[in-house]
């Protein structure tokens, strides 16, 4: 969320974390905009020469101001705006999306030189503002979904043209890429309550035999968490992760959370659904589909994805 009132600019994450100190270049761009007062909904991205830099974006959240300034110069961010909530004293939320979109195009064109209003291929390294591309042409939307430009987006969002802004509601339709892969269970984290498993820690083997941590699945019910706990309990303490990437690394997006985990003998295999593998790991939590008791754990390699193992 973006709030601007004169020279006062606030960037808030979905959990109300203040992001302005981590992206000073975006604050400067917004302060320079000609429109003095507005509220908008958007997404911060880092555009690299090869597409969207997810790992670079994660590293932008750093506690040291000197490091923040250095990264802002090396990997400047772009603010992609996709909905207008207010301008001056006018509340736009009750307007249909098509009218809010038209208002936003006008607002951004008034905002100055650092504004891009175009298609997916127009995204370029920041610092700048960009308007999320929009179309009612199914063929063009299909090319965006299939990521023919190689940007690296998760998918597309479909909104009815007459939809008002609904805060806190999932009123649009997210159309994401979905693939499946068989992963080795190499560890788990206990649930905070209920005595079950909080999450399973998944891995894929590289050619040299190292088990690389790739992420975790979601979608377990409370009863399933207890069942999974009984299944993995006899395997705890076995050697799994350690030679490659391991779970529990520091994350500035989840500061303060307990990241402890337990090694599990790597004999269980499960099939999961995921949207995108980036930097050798799932960008988002995968969805557990089924156990693969017929699968040899050592056959669960990155080769399933027809890609080279991550560097």
Q: Compute the mean pLDDT over every residue in the chain, rounded to the nearest whole number.
A: 84
Helix (H) or strand (E) holding 142: helix 138-145
d(CA 208, CA 210): 6
Cβ-based neighbour number of residue 13 at 10 Å? 13
Report pLDDT digits (tens) over 267-289: 999 999 988 787 788 888 889 99
Please check whether the two domains, 2-176 and 179-305, share a CATH topology.
Answer: no
Rounded to two decimals, what is the model's pTM? Answer: 0.68
Higher per-residue pLDDT: 244 or 51: 51
Write down the pLDDT at residue 117: 60
Query: Under 8 Å CB-to-CB from 93, ≥6 apart: which residues?
Result: 85, 86, 164, 165, 167
CA distances from 279 to 225, 265, 309 (A): 28, 25, 10
Helix (H) or strand (E) holding 222: helix 222-232
Report pLDDT digits (tens) over 215-224: 998 778 888 8
Write down the pLDDT at residue 86: 92
Average pLDDT on 48-75 reads 88
CB 282 within 8 A of CB 276: yes
pLDDT bin (cut points 50, 70, 90) of residue 85 is very high
- Domain spans in the chain, listed from the N-terminal domain onward: 2-176, 179-305
Res 204 pLDDT > 90:
yes
Q: Helices 65-74 and 24-32, interaxial angle, to 10°? A: 70
Phi, then psi, of 252 in degrees rounded to 5: -75, -15
For the domain with range 2-176, which CATH number is right: 3.30.470.30, 3.40.190.10, 3.90.850.10, 3.40.50.920?
Answer: 3.30.470.30
CATH architecture of 179-305: Beta Barrel (2.40)
């Amino acid at each position: 969320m973006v709030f601007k009132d004169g020279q006062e600019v606030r960037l808030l994450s979905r959990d109300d974390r203040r992001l302005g100190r981590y992206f000073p270049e975006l604050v400067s761009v917004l302060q320079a905009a000609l429109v003095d007062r507005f509220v908008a909904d958007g997404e911060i991205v880092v555009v690299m020469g090869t597409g969207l830099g997810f790992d670079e974006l994660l590293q932008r959240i750093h506690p040291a101001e000197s490091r923040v300034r250095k990264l802002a110069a090396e990997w400047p961010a772009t603010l992609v705006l996709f909905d207008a909530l207010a301008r001056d004293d006018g509340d736009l939320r009750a307007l249909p999306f098509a009218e809010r979109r038209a208002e936003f195009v006008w607002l951004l064109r008034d905002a100055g030189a650092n504004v891009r209003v175009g298609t997916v291929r127009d995204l370029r390294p920041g610092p700048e503002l960009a308007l999320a591309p929009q179309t009612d042409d199914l063929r063009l939307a299909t090319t965006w979904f299939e990521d023919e430009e190689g940007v690296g987006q998760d998918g597309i969002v479909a909104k009815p043209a007459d939809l008002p802004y609904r805060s806190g509601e999932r009123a649009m339709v997210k159309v994401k890429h979905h693939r499946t892969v068989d992963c080795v269970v190499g560890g788990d984290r206990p649930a905070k309550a209920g005595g079950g498993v909080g999450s399973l820690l998944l891995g894929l083997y590289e050619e040299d035999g190292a088990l690389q941590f790739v992420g975790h699945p979601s979608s377990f019910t409370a009863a399933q968490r207890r069942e999974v706990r009984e299944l993995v309990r006899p395997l705890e303490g076995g050697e799994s992760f350690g030679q490659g990437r391991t779970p529990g690394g520091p994350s500035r997006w989840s500061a303060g959370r307990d990241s402890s985990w337990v090694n599990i003998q790597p004999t269980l295999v499960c099939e999961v659904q995921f949207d995108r593998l980036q930097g050798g790991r799932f960008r988002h939590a995968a969805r557990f589909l089924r156990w693969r008791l017929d699968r040899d754990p050592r056959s669960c390699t990155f080769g399933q994805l027809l890609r080279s193992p991550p560097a």
